[in-house]
Amino acid sequence: MTHDWDIRLAFEPGRLISGNAGVLLSRVVRVKPGEHHPWLIVDAAMNDLMRPALYDAYHHIDAVRPSGKRMTAHVVGPVCESGDTFATAREMDSAGEGDLIVFRTAGAYGGAMSSGYNSRPLTPEVLVDGDRWALVRQRLDVSAAAATPLPDWLR
């Protein structure tokens, strides 16, 4: 049965496409023993990926070079805020100090919501297409910002 409805349909794919198009790459800087599970402290922080801190958004976490082993861990950033938590008691690929991990589905709002909170520079952004890549947002040169002279009234 066909109908000749006089309507116009519009679709907004939103996070479904753009979320899956981006990841946040981070390095485990320290593994701290915990009472029940270890704490993986990574070099990314809540200012780089705000969604978990703001509304407990779930981002799958994988090791860049998985060993096939699994672990349950808390994954946190270095900002020392209670909101600087990416995952609590998360089963994930086993990862240790120095290992690279990837936060999946970070493409939607990841860069747009990022900030320089706690004097942390914005993460660089890299656009990848197959075997081609381009730096589309450079990391702020902190030494250049520190070289800015203070106003006379602060000296």
- Which residue blocks in the chain are alpha helix, DSSP H? 15-18, 51-55, 110-113, 142-146
Q: Are 38 and 31 in contact (CB under 8 A)?
A: yes
Query: Active site includes 109?
Result: no
> CA separation (Å) from 63 to 55, 80, 90, 102, 123?
24, 23, 13, 6, 19
| Alpha-carbon span 63 to 94, nearest angstrom | 7
Tokens 């779930």 sit on residue: 58
Phi-psi region of 119 (alpha: psi -120 to 50; beta: other; left: phi over 0): left
Tokens 């602060």 sit on residue: 154
| Alpha-carbon span 21 to 24, nearest angstrom | 11
Catalytic residue among 17, 54, 80, 145: 80
3-class secondary-structure state, position 29 = strand
Mind telling me the catalytic residues?
Answer: 80
